[in-house]
Amino acid sequence: MDFVHQHLPALVVALPLVTGLVTAMVGRRGAGWWIAMGSSAAVFALCAQLLANVAGGGSQSVTYLLGNWPIPYGIGLVVDPLNAAVLATVALIGCVVTLYARRSMAQEVPEDRSHFFWALWQFCQVGLLGITITGDAFNFYVLLEISSLSTYTLIAMGKGRDRRALTAAINYLVIGSIGACFYLLGVAYLYMVTGSLNMADIHARLQDIFATWGTDAPVYRKTVIAGFAFIMVGLSLKLALFPLHLWLPNAYTYAPAAVTALLASTATKVGAYGFIRVIYTVVGPDFAWRYLHSDYILMICAMMAILGGSLMAIRQVNVKKLLAYSSIGQIGYIALGIASDNVYGLQAAIIHIFNHALTKGAMFMAVGCVLYRVGGVRLEHLRGLGRKMPLTMAAFTIGGLGLIGVPMTAGFVSKWYLVGGTLERGWMGAAGVVLVGSVLALVYTWRCIESIYFGKREEGAPEVREAPLSMLVPTLLLAVASLYFGMDSRLTSDISAQAAHFLLGVRP
Amino acid sequence: MKNNPIMRVVARWNIPFMFVFAVYVQVHGEIGPGGGFQAGVIMAASFILYGMVFGAAEMRRVVPRRLTDILAAAGVLLYAGTGIYSMLMGYPFLDHVAIWPGNPGGAEPWGMVSVEWGVGITVFAVMMTVFNEITEGTDEAPLGTDTEMVPALHQNKTEIN
């Protein structure tokens, strides 16, 4: 145990990397799933331990030096209240979705490719966990590429069911590469002016540069602004923030069901984490918000995302696409929380990262169950399933209520904090948009619910049964968790409060 | 190109030297110019030359796809394993001092050697996989214009006209 405690941060990344490689070598004939499952369960245990350490030990951060090279020369893995929470979210979802994925993958991915599938599945998680835990701006880019490259391939593996998965994957590959390039360019600009790649070190050195801006001889003003802009646009592409979201709907729609559930609940969340990390701990809110006033840009994008994403979701007939557009709207809530620049708003962003992961994960998994049993996920396929697949549809409904933000669901807690944050900032319009977004969510959720419980299955349609237990249990697990965290939000609000206070540098 | 004697002879003479050069670049990686990436590419290039001259199917007989799949993972595993070994010895991940405690100057190159071999093996295997993916299904007709193929192509064209 001593060994594990000493190397916790490194093991979170190294363990799934090694098991992923082993899977690529020996993961044929079902062995791949067992390795992936064991690995993701172990990683979840490690991340839970990290979170417990941070939550118990005040708000100071822990740094692990890779190769024992001192900061800023080497790469440091940094664990603080913010990323411990995101790590635990990613690991929890990874563990639950892996449990779910066995049956659905057996149907969607050819047997001779399964070892590659499970290897990439783990590499994707390596990338996402690594992005979250690293304290080095360049290492962030490398791990971003690891997760993105495996994601493109995982999406393309949906071609067995629908060949449009290939174009969706290529589309995402082009856009994702542009995003990663922009991020890298931005980091290069910051490196040019600070000579450092370590996030904390960049922050410290930027303070000296900012100090000259009030004087007659400002140095590197345009370079820093350009670097920041490049990083923000690059991360917005990964996050699918409103005007840059075009890759997301098709990628989510045509990817294999389990891959969609994994991506929707982790990949964009890690992008949101990157946003918070860069703004609050690399360049600092004084520069991003109070000097550049980019919080207004972010607020406008977020409001457009909430309205645009929800309006587009209303028009969809493919339920996977409907949920994908709804995800774009939900990302808007997270972005709005980040932009409000106060404890409530940041808490809303961090809580919503977790709550939306639970909610959307449960919904995409329920849709995957329908895909498994019925073979299609257009609205007409859902008709009358309330009687045929009651438990799956119950999970879907709970998720839908969470998207609306009905009290007693997780979505309500995040919206409560978000409205509080925007009002504290004095953004009445934004608070109004949040409420309008809930109404729009009600409309698109209702369209699904109407088909599920009030529609009738066509005469002569093939008989369908409840989803297999190995898919049903994880789906219900997330749905029940989203109810639990809607009723007892002590855990999420405590951790997010700790993270928000850490980011804003204020004592609770 | 299988029927081109010049290509066959030149390839047969050159490939051993390319092997040696690849290993030379590989073992120089930790102290001089060179390293795993370049060595892996050179090594793969020698096999790809073999495949281009004698046919991709013939090359796949020498280096089966199953082997390159395993090597691609084994190389990274060697890299990661170097780091895991440091951890098991009680040092941080990838701290090469663990390999020879008490002599950091001596340990560092050995750690790099291990890491570079990992990189080399993986780059070799991935380059081979890329070549295999491109040439998949073209086993009957080796890459490039075959002298015997050209009149046949020409004939087909006139028939269509």
| Token output for A488 | 């007892």
| Token output for A409 | 């669901």
How many domains, chain B? 1
CA distance A409 to A423: 22
**Which of A7, A25, A65 has its CB closest to that of B87?**
A7
State which H helix or E strand residue A62 sits in. Answer: strand A62-65
The pLDDT of residue B112:
86
Rg (CA), chain A: 22
The pLDDT of residue A28:
78
Residues from chain B that touch A66, judged by Cβ atoms under 8 A, are: 92-94
CA–centroid distance for A435 within its chain = 23
Give yes or no for a contact between A256 and A104, defined as CB atoms under 8 angstroms apart: yes
Burial class of residue A180 in the structure, from the number of CB atoms within 10 Å of its CB (0-12 exposed, 13-18 middle, 19+ buried): buried
Interchain CB distance below 8 Å, B80 and A14: yes
What value of ipTM does the predicted structure carry?
A: 0.81
Residues from chain A that touch B91, judged by Cβ atoms under 8 A, are: 68
| CA-to-CA separations, A231 to A204, A293, A334, in angstroms, rounded | 18, 16, 18
Domain that holds residue B28: 5-160
The answer to whether residue A60 neighbours chain B at the CB level (below 8 Å) is: no
Residues from chain A that touch B121, judged by Cβ atoms under 8 A, are: none
- What pTM does this model have? 0.90
**Which of A6, A14, A65 has its CB closest to that of B83?**
A14
What is the DSSP secondary structure assignment for residue B90, as one 8-state letter? Answer: T
To the nearest whole Å, the CA of B148 is away from the closest chain A CA by: 37
Give the residue from B94, B112, B122 with the most A CB atoms within 10 Å of its CB, the best one to mutate. B94
Rg (CA), chain B: 21
Average pLDDT, chain B: 81
To the nearest whole Å, the CA of A23 is away from the closest chain B CA by: 9
The pLDDT of residue B125:
94
Interchain CB distance below 8 Å, B87 and A22: no
* Other residues' Cβ atoms within 10 Å of the Cβ of residue A66: 23
| Token output for A149 | 């490259």
The answer to whether residue A462 neighbours chain B at the CB level (below 8 Å) is: no
The answer to whether residue A142 neighbours chain B at the CB level (below 8 Å) is: no
Give yes or no for a contact between A192 and A144, defined as CB atoms under 8 angstroms apart: no
Interchain CB distance below 8 Å, A24 and B73: yes
- The whole-number average pLDDT for the span B28-37 is 79
The pLDDT of residue A68:
82
What angle do helix axes A31-56 and A114-133 make, rounded to 10 degrees?
A: 10
- For residue A72, say if its preceding peptide bond is cis, omega within 30 degrees of 0: yes
Summarize pLDDT for B38-49 with one digit per residue, the tens.
999 999 999 999
Summarize pLDDT for A9-30 with one digit per residue, the tens.
888 999 999 999 998 888 777 7
Give yes or no for a contact between A502 and A84, defined as CB atoms under 8 angstroms apart: no
Residues from chain A that touch B70, judged by Cβ atoms under 8 A, are: 25
Q: Taking 50 as the threshold, does the pLDDT of residue B153 lie above it?
A: no
The pLDDT of residue A88:
92
Summarize pLDDT for A433-448 with one digit per residue, the tens.
999 999 999 999 998 9
CA distance A362 to A397: 10
Burial class of residue A136 in the structure, from the number of CB atoms within 10 Å of its CB (0-12 exposed, 13-18 middle, 19+ buried): buried
**Which of A6, A11, A18 has its CB closest to that of B77?**
A18
pLDDT along chain A (508 residues), means of 10: 80 91 83 90 92 75 84 87 91 93 85 86 94 92 94 90 89 93 95 91 90 82 92 92 89 91 92 92 88 90 93 91 93 92 90 92 92 85 84 92 89 91 90 91 91 81 82 92 89 87 77
Between vectors from CA A365 to CA A364 and to CA A370, what angle results, nearest 5°?
Answer: 95
Beta bridge partners of A167: none
Burial class of residue A171 in the structure, from the number of CB atoms within 10 Å of its CB (0-12 exposed, 13-18 middle, 19+ buried): middle
Summarize pLDDT for B95-146 with one digit per residue, the tens.
888 888 888 788 888 888 888 999 999 999 999 999 988 887 765 554 554 4
Give the residue from B93, B96, B99 with the most A CB atoms within 10 Å of its CB, the best one to mutate. B93
Q: Taking 50 as the threshold, does the pLDDT of residue B156 lie above it?
A: no
The pLDDT of residue A134:
92
